[in-house]
Amino acid sequence: MADPKRWQIGLVGYGEVGRILAEDLRQQDIKVSAYDIKLGSEQGASLKQHAAEFGVALAASHAELAAKSDFLISAVTASQAVPVAKACAAALNQGTWFLDFNSASPGAKQRAAALIDGGGGRYVEGAVMTSVPPYRIKVPLLLGGPGAREIEPLLNAIGFAAKVASDELGVSSAVKMCRSIMIKGLEAMVIESFTTARAYGVEDAVLASLAETFPGINWEKQGAYFFQRVIEHGRRRAEEVREVAETVREAGLTPWSAQGTAERQAWVADLADERLFGARGTKEFARSADWRTEADRILAKIKR
């Protein structure tokens, strides 16, 4: 296992992040397998098509994937971080690396680590510090845990941009979660502020005021980006912010802001599930540059 390019890498979760990692790893001729609970759903056909296109072998279960992997990456929704660790732990080969890529609280990471290490694996905490798509495999990644320093150069050798934050579990996730209070909260506030401003017909004045206070931000462009990211990924973001709220509770504070952010993100996700914003995942949908169109759709919905 000295040469990471000869690893058999297993991806638990074949959503947007899992597919991006698979593509970048396969470009290096690294063997990649994957498992996703959605393989058996109506979304499974598109996942199978993607896997066939990029030469990714699909496993039938968590256990099957764990048993044949030298290195596992868990990239699932936040609420599934610990259940996935539990599902993989019993089937791990001794010494198998397990990189937890999920946006979970420090406490959840510690519980997942106990399961993986108890099954003979080697758990490493990973905290993804910004949106994956623009950076792909080179997204800034903070590592934590006893094995972090050993795996850092191995990960970077296959294209990751990993950096050790701490030998202690939970530190990397704490950085990620505290950042998310701001970033995911700002997304929710922009949607709430801009949509309300649109309802009163004062959006241009609000944007001008924001530009005067924060001249370094293009609020028109940033607003469009926030609307689209939440519309497309609000469900996942809501789960992450619930983990953020748990992180705040673990620190002894009441997560008023995080709770409100999670509710707003989930609310937009519900609207997206109703196809209020059109066909999800289409190129036109994902790249809309006009937040006003989306705000008008929201306003039309709530006024019915």
Could you tell me if 179 and 133 are in contact, meaning their C-beta atoms sit under 8 angstroms apart?
A: no
Same domain, 13 and 101: yes
User: Token match 């992450």: residue?
Assistant: 240
- Can you tell me whether residue 11 is helix, strand or coil? strand
Indicate whether 43 and 165 sit together in one domain.
yes
Range of the domain at 48: 4-169
Q: What is the pLDDT of residue 1?
A: 52
Shared-domain flag, residues 117 and 39: yes
> Which tens digits make up the pLDDT trace of 141-179?
999 999 999 999 999 999 999 999 999 999 999 999 999
Assess whether 79 and 128 both reside in one domain. Answer: yes
Q: Where does a domain end: 169, 203, 231? A: 169
For residue 203, the domain's CATH number is 1.10.1040.10
In angstroms, the CA 22 to CA 55 distance is 9
* Residues 165 and 177 placed together within one structural domain of the fold: no
Residues 59 and 199 in one domain: no
pLDDT for the residue numbered 39: 93
Q: What is the pLDDT of residue 42?
A: 86
pTM of the model: 0.85
The residues with which 100 forms a beta bridge, in sequence order, are 74, 125
Indicate whether 181 and 153 sit together in one domain. no
Q: What is the pLDDT of residue 131?
A: 87
The pair of three-digit structure tokens given for residue 263, joined into one six-digit string: 């509710």
Instruction: Show which of 124, 141, 169 is a domain's final residue.
Output: 169
Work out how many domains the chain is built from and give that number.
Answer: 2
Residues of the chain below pLDDT 70: 1-2, 278-288
Give the relative orientation of helices 219-250 and 256-273 as an angle to the nearest 10 degrees. Answer: 120
- At residue 282, the pLDDT reads 42
